Amino acid sequence: MGKIKSMPSEENTALANINLAKNALEQARDLSSVLEIRSQAMAIQAYASAKGADEAANLAVEIKLRSERKAGTFLKEMPKAEGHKFGAGSTKLGPPALKDLGISKNESSRWQRIASIPEERFEEYLNNATRRTQTALLSEAARMRHYEPVEAPPVPQGLFNVIYADPPWRYQFSPTYSREIEKNYPTMELEDIRSIQIPTPKDAILFLWATSPKLEEALSVLNSWGFEYRTSMVWVKDRIGMGYYFRAQHELILIGRKGKMPPPEESNRPSSVIVSPRRDHSQKPDEIYEMIEKMYPSGSYLELFSRDERENWTMWGNEAK
């Protein structure tokens, strides 16, 4: 009597279907095929989840995300639909509208954002994520937009002996994406900040903003720019923020000196502590300008990484108005 072959388990069936869908996705050359594979992946996921086949369900989610990324690539290359164009006695059809493809505007936007993630980073996410979701990929896409190299404007001509800087430090971790630095403005690698050539004479003073986690990096920037650390002051805010050890409620201004730049007159020396409300993300107190101008009333002022204009100051940065 021959050996009876066991029927394949429901999970094995789901895994086999996933492999078929994966191979079909790799060979898909048009949007319609990709959308069909995405529908298949969603059906497999629902089936596997209902049967408790967690591995198959997770793999089906991966196929769904890969399908959405590939669909986003096709959508980015597709000309915008112009609808039906009617001529005398004839009808000309433009590219298909999203609704004709069964795609909503939100889906199109999300898939194209996922398609903007570099392939290496996309694969890294799929390999390392404990729970694969479209939301996490969209957050990564937003991060990557700010990680793209930003071309700095030309350094202003002339020499400036009073420098005020608030570098866009890049942080590695954040409890929630909604509070991440990169969501508010493009950040820079440390070496890119260090390599900026500051147009100063032989004698100059630097006021450099730093958060406590970036203190060591800020000191290295100060030195790379040709300054020697002298002292610091503290901005105390009215509200606490995030933090892994302490909930941060202060920031630092480091003062560096170049050459023989003298300290301010004794009557113009401020307190080492300023208490001022926290405003928009990374926005510093306006009183700092007044403090610096009082300390060095005849200075030639340059602000690096500025966002606003101020009389008698030269502003430099991508967000400078």
What pLDDT was estimated at residue 179?
A: 42
What are the domain boundaries of the chain?
10-82+97-147, 162-179+187-316
Least confident of 159-163, 191-195, 229-233, 296-300: 191-195
Say yes or no: domain 162-179+187-316 is CATH 3.40.50.150: yes
pTM of the predicted model as reported, rounded to 2 decimal places: 0.55
Average pLDDT score over residue span 63-89: 73
Confidence band (pLDDT; 50, 70, 90) for 89? Answer: very low
Average pLDDT score over residue span 227-236: 97
The better pLDDT of the pair 145, 207 is held by 207
The better pLDDT of the pair 63, 172 is held by 63
Q: How far apart are CA 15 and CA 53, in angstroms?
A: 9
Cβ density class 112-141: b for 16+ within 10 Å, e for less: bbbbbbeeeebeeeeeebeebebeebbbbb
Least confident of 102-106, 109-113, 141-145, 241-245: 141-145
Give residues with Cβ within 8 angstroms of 13, minimum separation 6: none
Average pLDDT score over residue span 117-122: 81
Least confident of 175-189, 215-229, 296-310: 175-189
What pLDDT was estimated at residue 138?
A: 73
The better pLDDT of the pair 3, 236 is held by 236
Average pLDDT score over residue span 282-288: 85
Confidence band (pLDDT; 50, 70, 90) for 84? Answer: very low
Summarize pLDDT for 143-172 with one digit per residue, the tens.
Answer: 666 555 556 677 888 999 999 999 888 765
The better pLDDT of the pair 262, 78 is held by 262
**What are all long-range contacts of 84-90, with beta carbons under 8 Å and residues at least 24 apart?**
none
Neighbours of 269 (CB within 10 A): 12
What pLDDT was estimated at residue 178?
A: 38
What pLDDT was estimated at residue 35?
A: 93
What pLDDT was estimated at residue 140?
A: 65
Q: How far apart are CA 111 and CA 284, in angstroms?
A: 37
Rg (CA), the chain: 28
What pLDDT was estimated at residue 123?
A: 85
Q: How far apart are CA 276 and CA 92, in angstroms?
A: 64
What pLDDT was estimated at residue 173?
A: 44
Let me know the angle formed at the C-alpha of 55 by 138 and 14, rounded to the nearest 5 degrees: 105
What pLDDT was estimated at residue 175?
A: 40
Instruction: Give the chain's mean pLDDT.
Output: 81
Residue 90 has pLDDT above 50, yes or no: no
Residue 88 has pLDDT above 80, yes or no: no
